[in-house]
Amino acid sequence: MPKKYIYLIITYVAMQLSVYLVVPFIELIENPQFFLVGWSLATFALALIISIYFLRDEIAAFFQSDQKNIGNIVLWSVLGSFLVIITQWVAVTIETFVFGIKPGSQNTMDLMNVARQAPIFIVIISVLGPILEELVFRKAIFGSLHKRMNFFFAALLSGVIFAAVHQDFSHLLIYTAMGMVFAFLYVETKRIIVPIIAHMAINTFAVIVQFSVDPEQIEQQLKQLEQLQLIITGGY
């Protein structure tokens, strides 16, 4: 793995762990939740700036190239977004009706609860997070693994790591499947910008859906889906 990719991963890990630097002082802060949102926004932005610096040669090469294939990038970004949605739906269906896992991601619900109280947090969900995750999990990790093994195993392994980082282990299948689709988009187009755009689009879509529906309605829909799950699996 090139050193710049190692530095990229270290930057991402340091950003994720940086919150522990302020935990001992959190009780001294008047509004800790808003402080943590501001801290997250600052550290995500700083991590992105540092990551861009490490990848500056590749970024410069893209803009200097005469074959950017913008139309192809746009087309695959749109198709990729729909492919991720379909994959997510299939994974949710398998989890619910085959493995009996309750629908609804706790990770997503926690993020949206923060976003409702501090809308600026949406910048992390829809922009900063997807960019950093694609640079780390697809470009650095998957890209390096793909040089040593075939696509399936490289995508699967990097997808599992991507899923584990989200700490929502009951929905490991969903995150892994999504990660594999993002890896497919990267390989098919040879442009990391494509899975970045698709990732941003799917996260933004999730935010819009969550904000357009009352939390109580979401809870009722999840309960109805659970009841349907019990009926189908014979657990009534």
Catalytic annotation, residues: 133, 166
Q: Which two tokens stand for residue 33?
A: 């939740």
**Alpha helices by DSSP H, the chain:** 3-17, 32-54, 56-64, 70-97, 106-117, 122-123, 129-133, 143-146, 151-165, 172-189, 193-212, 215-233
234 — alpha (psi -120 to 50), left (phi > 0) or beta?
left
Q: What is the Cα–Cα distance from 56 to 52, expressed in whole angstroms? A: 6
Q: Is 44 exposed, middle or buried (0-12, 13-18, 19+ CB in 10 A)?
A: buried
